């Protein structure tokens, strides 16, 4: 089934996730400027990130079902339009609540149209190199961290935080809408992994889906706090803001290579062993953040952190495709993605609260490492449904 146009789908997916998800993750660089300019606490601003991920999760489930019915192009076009609008409205926020509604609720709902539909589309186009194709699409998120965090920092420094939000919204429209027009439905699968697949209802009721969703939730809850607060932590350690933003970008670049490498390894060794190794490495990397203070130390640990969380992220979609079949993948992976985005919503706010309570970020890294080990424990229970073969 693998066709030349499948790689065009992958390229469009990379561009969309780079700008779309990168702009969501870039909110972390707004914490110190908003605290200084508006007097808004880090916890309050992090609430906008929480709202964004909650909105992404709920909307992503709906976008996934719409993908199964209407296709990826319509869904991503609509989501990109809404996401860009939310970013532009955030530039006019006069209170934390307005920021949470604009960036969080509206922008997050639009951003929910990216990951589940795009990874579903990539998985439908490929058989032989499915892990690599899905990994490349999700790698756009790592590229987004590398691009959007420094870009937002530069815009804030030159023009202010309002212009930075406005610029990111315009960039979302300029890139995502044209790229979405390149998306096409995949041809019919020929000899896919799952014979017959499952119905949407069967997939949503299966314990296997619950196990993947629980792992995805814990995995994202573990790394979202350290990622979101990485710039603030580096600044607290005496590193200049632009250098700190570059450290986040470097971790994102490592995540990019981790996604590609994880997909390639999974294509050869299997999905479950790759997931277990990546989750263990993620927990170890998070636990070590309390020991670093210098830029070189941040870079080295960020490389391990990015490689580990990056490697595992595309593999949830591959598991869902292999276990439940292509016909219901949008719905099934939409449900799993909702759990993951709920996990992403926990870390930023919990990290801000723990920082205010404890006076530093040590408690955040300890709690995140423990949650990461919980994700590993759940993943060890992975078993394919009886009707299909394990990847």
Distance from C-alpha of 112 to C-alpha of 374, rounded to nearest angstrom = 26
Decide if 285 contacts 304 (C-beta within 8 A). yes
Q: Which stretches of the chain score pLDDT less than 70?
A: 1-3, 142, 188-199, 249, 386-391
pLDDT in tens, 219-236: 999 988 888 788 788 888
Distance from C-alpha of 192 to C-alpha of 354, rounded to nearest angstrom = 47
CA 136 from chain center: how many Å?
13
Distance from C-alpha of 323 to C-alpha of 337, rounded to nearest angstrom = 16
Q: Give the model's pLDDT for residue 283.
A: 94
Q: Which of 258, 235, 305, 253 is closest to 144 using CA atoms?
A: 253
Distance from C-alpha of 99 to C-alpha of 89, rounded to nearest angstrom = 8
Decide if 110 contacts 81 (C-beta within 8 A). yes
Q: Which residue has the tokens 């394990």?
A: 390
Q: Give the model's pLDDT for residue 75.
A: 92
DSSP 327: T
Determine if the pTM surpasses 0.75.
no
Residue 263 tokens, joined = 């997909």
pLDDT in tens, 72-112: 899 999 999 999 999 999 999 989 899 999 999 999 999 98
DSSP 104: I
DSSP H or E stretch at residue 267:
helix 241-269
- Tell me how far CA of residue 191 lies from CA of 1, 24, 121, 387, in angstroms: 8, 38, 17, 15
Q: What residues contact 317, with CB distance under 8 A and at least 6 apart?
A: 119, 120, 123, 134, 138, 329, 333
Q: Give the model's pLDDT for residue 251.
A: 78
CB neighbourhood size of 77 (10 A)? 18
Q: Which of 129, 125, 162 is closest to 8 using CA atoms?
A: 125
Residue 329 tokens, joined = 């993948």
Q: Give the model's pLDDT for residue 387.
A: 56
Residue 281 tokens, joined = 């490495």
Q: Give the model's pLDDT for residue 324.
A: 80
Which CATH architecture fits 5-182+198-379? Up-down Bundle (1.20)
Q: Which residue has the tokens 């194709």?
A: 133
Distance from C-alpha of 82 to C-alpha of 105, rounded to nearest angstrom = 10
């Amino acid at each position: 089934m693998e066709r030349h146009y499948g790689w065009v789908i992958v390229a469009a997916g990379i561009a969309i996730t780079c700008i779309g998800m990168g702009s969501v993750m870039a909110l972390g660089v707004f914490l110190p400027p908003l605290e200084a300019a508006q007097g808004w606490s880090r916890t309050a601003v992090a609430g906008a990130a929480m709202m964004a991920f909650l909105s992404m999760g709920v909307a992503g489930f709906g976008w996934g079902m719409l993908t199964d019915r209407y296709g990826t192009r319509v869904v991503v076009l609509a989501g990109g339009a809404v996401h860009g609008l939310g970013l532009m409205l955030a530039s006019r926020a006069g209170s934390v609540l307005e920021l949470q509604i604009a960036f969080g609720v509206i922008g997050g709902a639009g951003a929910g149209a990216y990951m589940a539909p795009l990874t579903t589309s990539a998985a439908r186009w490929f058989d032989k190199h499915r892990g690599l194709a899905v990994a490349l699409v999700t790698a756009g998120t790592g590229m987004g961290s590398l691009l959007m965090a420094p870009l937002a920092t530069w815009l804030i420094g030159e023009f202010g935080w309002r212009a930075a939000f406005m610029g990111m919204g315009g960039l979302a429209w300029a890139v995502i809408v044209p790229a979405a027009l390149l998306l096409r439905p995949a041809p019919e699968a020929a000899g896919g992994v799952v014979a017959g697949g499952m119905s949407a209802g069967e997939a949503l009721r299966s314990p296997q889906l619950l196990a993947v969703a629980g792992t995805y939730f814990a995995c994202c809850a573990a790394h979202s706090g350290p990622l979101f607060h990485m710039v603030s932590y580096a600044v607290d350690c005496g590193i200049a803001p632009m250098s700190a933003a570059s450290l986040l970008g470097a971790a994102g670049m490592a995540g990019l290579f981790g996604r590609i490498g994880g997909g390639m390894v999974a294509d050869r060794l299997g999905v479950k062993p790759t997931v277990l190794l990546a989750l263990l490495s993620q927990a170890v990397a998070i636990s070590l953040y309390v020991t670093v203070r210098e830029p070189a130390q941040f870079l080295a640990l960020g490389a391990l952190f990015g490689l580990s969380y990056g490697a595992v992220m595309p593999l949830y979609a591959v598991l869902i495709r292999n276990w439940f079949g292509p016909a219901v993948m949008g719905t099934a992976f939409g449900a799993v993605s909702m759990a993951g985005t709920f996990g992403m919503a926990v870390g930023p706010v919990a990290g801000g609260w723990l920082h205010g309570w404890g006076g530093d970020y040590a408690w955040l890294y300890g709690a995140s490492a423990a949650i990461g080990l919980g994700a590993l424990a759940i993943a060890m229970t992975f078993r394919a449904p009886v009707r299909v073969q394990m990847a």
